[in-house]
Structure 1
Amino acid sequence: MSRRSSGLVGVWAEAQRQQQRQREAQQRAVVQQQRQQRAYERDLARMQREQQAAYRQGREADARLRTEELEGQVAALGGLLGAGCRAAPFRVAALTRPEQVAPFEPGQLAHPVPMPDPAHYRAEGGWTAGRRAQAQQEAQARYQHDWQAAQAAEAHRVRQLAAYRAQYDAWASGQLAEVRAHNAGLAQLVDALRAGEPGAAVDYFSAALYASGAWPEGFPRQVAAAFDRGARQLVLDWELPPIDVVPEVKSVRYVASSDQEKETARPVTQRRALYRDALAQCVLLVLRDLFAADEFGMLDSVVVNGFVDDVDPATGRRAEIFLAAVSVPRAAFEPLNLGQVSAVDCLVEALRGQLSARPDQRAAVRPGRRPADVGTGVVSHGGGGEPDLFTMDPIEFEGLVAELFRARGMQALTTQRSNDGGVDVEALDPDPISGGRIIVQVKRYRNTVPPTAVRDLYGTVQGAGANKGVLVTTSGFGPGSYGFAEGKPLTLVSGAELVDLLHQHGLRGRLGEGAPAGSGAAGAAAVPAPRAAPDDVEDFNLLGMVWAGAVALDVCALVCRGSRVLSEEQFVFFNNPANPGSSVRMVPGVGGDRAAVRVVFDALPDGADRLVLVAAVDPEVSPGGDLAGFTSAAICLRDAAGAELDRLPVADGRPGETALVLGSFRRRSGGDWDFVPGGKGYRGGLGELVGEYGVVVA
């Protein structure tokens, strides 16, 4: 029979057992921790190997992509002539404009104002005959009041509709006259071409060259031409692309040991051969486009002298260095199958032309007949001094904007001409904090860019997942555009700002004929010192008012500095329909507008920094009325033709108030205008409202 030990020996033995168990538990914990550590290290090593493999694969893919891009550039150069030959020939008919204009769309003005229904004006309440009679009289009075207001509103609508129709008829007549004048000018051009007039021939065939979509991005388009009427020969100097169109790098591969990309240089002989072939293709494509466009049989032969604008190695100065020259009779050109020829052999052997043996070293050839030798007027397009951004070829203009981004330290490429998703240039800013992908749209406009274009750009930026959007134009932006862009990742670059940026980075560009460099004379956002006569300008805005309800309103405008009107003559309303100089004028509404103000923002008086629009109940049409029914109101910002550019919301009216500040246009520091919504109401009518702006109403 066993018994449990007691006493000191038993206590000591139990303590030893407890210590043993603790040591075993600690040992098991150490072993478990070591196992977990080894498992963690194995997982970490596997992750690092996987990350290193993924990193290596990514770098290798980038290197392959760069190689594919280089091969694509070379392939595009090799297929230049074939792509050009597949294009449709240039024809005068492509320039003809249809004799049609947008139909008359009066909008809300087409719908008569609904008249009140007597059934909705029933007497309510009354236990006695007297009270019922009183209620009936009150209902009848409400009906008469609303009926008279509706009748007045309908008469106002009819007058506005007639005025809008007259304005539309005048506009439509002007549009048709412009289209007919354009088409008549084309008919005169055709007659001149058939008569063999040299000036018409040069203009027509230059247009044919510029209309070709076969020229890759970055290729120059500078031409000087003359037409020999007696010999029926067109003579032209055509600028050729520089050697840079052929990539110096042949391929790229990733070297894992040094974690760097290694470029393999393209052999000099290969680059020279590719460049010579590209130059020969350019000359043949010029010949093809000219003979194909000759729908009137004007050309018996064409002389093409191809040059590059580069540094002459003999003088060290920039000059026109001729690298190719050929004189081709039509009879010798027509039998050629350009889709199958070797460009160099065709130019040199079949057509007996000249082609530099070492164009990469600017080894020149002697040009043939020059345009100046013809004896008639020489017409030049492209090149020379500051290019006019308004008349620049659209593709060239987009390339210039891309070059500007590259000059600012970014990567930038123009997109394809179709299916570009509203993107003209894509840029990548390498800055790790503020950089990222940038979507650029280019608008070569003369009039103000509508806010819809800014909204479209924002949608494109969101859809593409880009960091920022930039809208570049040769004109400017209105208040609605700047208001929409505020607080969003959008940058608006006006024409004046564009010219300044170009010159800051050594690029060329001007706005309009005779505009000094950097002046931004056309489409500038800055306020000009001399004021144009508003009646003579074409770039003005219409501020139209729309609202729901039958209440009749007087819409007025105040030209202010801060919160004070410049003078009482700058308070434009029904008894003073225009301010001095007529930069602000009351006009009939268009397109459904119930009232409108014509504004030439650039012609507002010096010192004016605010244009305030207000409205007040017309006491003659709506006696005793208030702004309770003034809802769904907006200011329609329209261009000079009446097309809606933006719709600026306005606060609803409130019961008891008879006048309201609709909003104000405020000048930005750069000269453009922002719209700031109003909403402050007044119970004392127009007099109380304008009194706060310093106008004393007797």
Structure 2
Amino acid sequence: MAKRGFFAELNYQAQQAEKRRRQQEAQAVRARSSAVREHERSLKAAERARATAARASDAQRKAAEKEAARLHVEARTAEVEAMNNDLASSYEDIDGLLAWTLGTDDYVDLESLKVTAEHPPFDPGTLGTPIPPVSELVDPPEPTYEEPPAPKGLAGAFGGKKKHDAALAAAQAEHQRQIEHWTITKAKKHADLVAARVVREKNEVNRLMKFAESQAAYEAECAQRDAEAMAQNEQLTKFINDLAFDVEYAIEDYVGIVLSNSVYPDVFPVEHDHSFDLASRELTLQVAIPEPSTVPSVKEYRYVKAKDEITASPLTAKAQKDRYTAAVHQVAVRTLHEVFEADRAGKIHSVALTVGVNRVAPATGQPEYVPLVMVAADRETFNSFDLANVVPSATLDHLGAAVSKSPFDLTPANTSRGVRQRGQ
């Protein structure tokens, strides 16, 4: 059996990512459902009631406790409703496995797989911000000389001149000291300014160099992404040409892409393996489905107030077997449909399909694959069916399929008659 090719694997991973996104959205929608909202509201109300009861008088406390108990029951009831909604959704998904694909065109436009490199915006961080220039120097004001006033009147006549001369000398000396200090301070500020400008210019040059390096690294990364996208697109172009000219690997890989697009619900995961023979133009396809024990078996959940617990009532054995059997048949018909619908060019003339379960053999303890449906179908016959109106089990019988008598019990399909009884 073939492994997924390069583009099938890329597509598979993209589909898985999209599947996870849809699941998250679905979970968010369910979280917003009325049952869940009511559950959350009731829980909060019950908590408030319990808090009120703790603060209240005996009579108030009893009333609050009664209200808290009522709200607790509401919360548990809402929880059960949410669980039953999820359960119903799971069963709806299983019962509609074939319908899931009928509204979707399974053809894959390979040109749509071509990619364009996506580049994040260039973000140099702090390197993109120029270092601010050093502020211009503002010189301190030059000291002014203020001469002491000359003595007047009698003060000047009795020794005033001598005191004035002394004051004058002191004032001149002080002014001279201030001038010298101002000159030194001014010179130092000018020297500091020159030094700061030198440092700033050095840091700015360093920033510009690192900015250029960062930009060059970003452009190199962009070029690398562009080159990888171009190489992938060239490889895809070759793949498209090989498919057009019936190169075997290309047909096989295209089927891998188609099957990777076949998204099943989480509750019923499916895996595919396949190989293609160009000489016979037959696709051999093996499908692995979940074991019956992994499929939900609960009929409904209910809240038992007396025990304050949620219990589950099981589906009847018949209901479990009927649902699982129907799912097996739907997977078989769905897989044939997806392959033939996707192969517009008619590269595949027939499909030999096996649907089964991987398990550990109870007798040997070794892994084994249990076939539950084995069927061969040719394109012309299968494409004549109106799948919107078929019963899958009847379709398989019409195709002469070998079908397990009890898929739920993992009874292998009986292939003693072969699987090409009709339309050989």
| TM-score > 0.5 by shorter chain | yes
Asked whether 1:211 is paired with 2:261, we answer yes
What's 1:251 paired with?
A: 300
Aligned to 1:163: 213
Indicate the RMSD between aligned Cα atoms, in angstroms.
3.3
Letter paired with 2:90: Q
Contact 1:224-1:237 within 8 A present in 2 as well: yes
Structure with more relative contact order (C-alpha pairs < 8 Å, separation 6 or more): 2
Q: 1:271: Cα distance to partner?
A: 1.6
Structure 2 counterparts to residues 84-483 of structure 1, below 5 A: 84-87=101-104, 89=106, 90-118=108-136, 120-124=137-141, 126-127=143-144, 130-213=180-263, 215-217=264-266, 219-256=268-305, 263-294=312-343, 296-312=345-361, 318-349=367-398, 351-366=399-414
Does structure 2 conserve the Cα–Cα contact (< 8 Å) formed by 1:306 and 1:325?
yes
User: CA deviation digits over 1:90-111, x for unaligned, max 9?
Assistant: 4423432104534544344344
Q: Kindly indicate whether the alpha-carbon contact (under 8 Å) linking 1:312 and 1:321 is maintained by their aligned counterparts in 2.
A: no
Separation in structure 2 between the aligned mates of residue 112 and residue 258 of structure 1, nearest angstrom: 71
Match of 1:75 among 89, 92, 105: 92
2:395 partner amino acid: C
User: How many angstroms apart in 2 are the aligned matches of 1:59 and 1:133?
Assistant: 87
Q: Is the 8 A contact 1:304 1:327 kept in 2?
A: yes
Change in CA separation of 1:131 and 1:266 when aligned onto 2, cut-off 3 Å? closer
Counterpart amino acid of residue 361 in structure 1: D
Unaligned runs of 5+ in 2: 1-56, 145-174, 420-424
The TM-score, its normalising length taken from structure 2, stands at 0.66
How far off is 1:358 after superposition?
Answer: 0.9
CA distance in 1, matches of 2:292, 2:256: 24
Q: In the aligned structure 1, how far is the partner of 2:414 from the partner of 2:290?
A: 18
Aligned residue for 1:299, secondary structure, equals: coil
CA deviation after TM superposition for structure 1 residue 264, in Å: 3.2
Compare CA radii of gyration and give the structure with the larger one: 2
User: What is the rounded CA distance, in whole Å, between the counterparts of 2:139 and 2:127 in structure 1?
Assistant: 31
User: Cα offset for 1:124?
Assistant: 4.7
Give, in whole Å, the separation in 2 of the partners of 1:100 and 1:254. Answer: 52
Per-residue CA distance 1:406-444 (angstroms, 9 max, x = gap): xxxxxxxxxxxxxxxxxxxxxxxxxxxxxxxxxxxxxxx
Looking at structure 2, the residues matched to 316 and 280 of structure 1 have their Cα atoms a distance apart, in angstroms, of: 28
Q: How far apart, in 1, do the equivalents of 2:397 and 2:142 lie?
A: 106
The answer as to whether partners of 2:403 and 2:414 remain within 8 angstroms in 1 is no
Q: Structure 2: how far apart are the matches of 1:46 and 1:164?
A: 69
> Which letter maps to 2:275?
A
Change (3 A) 1:70 1:115: closer
The 1:113/1:318 distance shift into structure 2, 3 A limit, reads closer
Match of 1:231, SS state, is coil
Alignment of 1:502-517 (within 5 A): none
**2: distance between equivalents of 1:190 and 1:259?**
62
Amino acid at match of 2:130: P
Gaps of at least 5 residues in structure 1 are: 1-39, 370-698
Structure showing the higher strand proportion among its residues = 1
Q: Helix, strand or coil for the counterpart of 1:325?
A: strand
Q: TM-score, normalised by structure 1?
A: 0.42
Contact 1:246 1:274 (C-alpha < 8 Å) held by counterparts: no
Once residues 355 and 310 of structure 2 are traced to their aligned partners in structure 1, the CA distance between those partners, rounded to angstroms, is: 37
1:535-546 equivalences under 5 Å are none
Q: Give the drift of 1:284.
A: 2.4
- CA distance in structure 2 between the aligned counterparts of 1:197 and 1:338, rounded to whole angstroms: 31
The one-letter amino acid paired with 1:81 is L
In 2, distance between residues paired with 1:158 and 1:257?
Answer: 76
Whether the 8 Å CA contact 2:94–2:268 is kept in 1: the answer is: no
Hey, what's the Cα distance between the residues in 1 that align with 2:71 and 2:118? 60
Task: State how far apart, in whole Å, the 2-side matches of 1:100 and 1:50 are.
Answer: 58
Which whole-Å CA distance do the structure 2 matches of 1:136 and 1:318 have between them? 91
Provide Cα deviations, 1:44-70, integer angstroms capped at 9, x if missing partner.
776676565555555544444444333
Give per-residue Cα distances to partners, 1:167-215, cap 9 Å, x unaligned: 33332222211111111111122122223233333233223222333x1
Question: CA-to-partner distance for each residue in 1:1-50, whole Å, 9 max, x for gaps?
Answer: xxxxxxxxxxxxxxxxxxxxxxxxxxxxxxxxxxxxxxx99877766765
The aligned amino acid for 2:124 is: P
Distance 1:96 1:259 in 2: 57
Matches within 5 A, 1:644-659: none
Distance in 2 separating the partners of 1:142 and 1:265: 87
* Alpha-carbon distance in 1 for matches of 2:213, 2:320: 69
Paired residues of 1:300 and 1:330 also in contact (CA < 8 A): yes
CA distance in 2, matches of 1:115, 1:330: 78
Would the aligned equivalents of 2:268 and 2:295 in 1 still touch at CA under 8 Å?
no
Contact persistence 1:307–1:320 (CA under 8 A): yes
In structure 1, how many angstroms separate the alpha carbons of the residues matched to 2:340 and 2:304? 52
Go from structure 1 to structure 2 and tell me whether the alpha carbon gap of 1:252 and 1:175 turns closer, same or farther (over 3 Å shift).
closer
Secondary structure, counterpart of 1:174 in structure 2: helix
Distance 1:141 1:217, change over 3 A: same
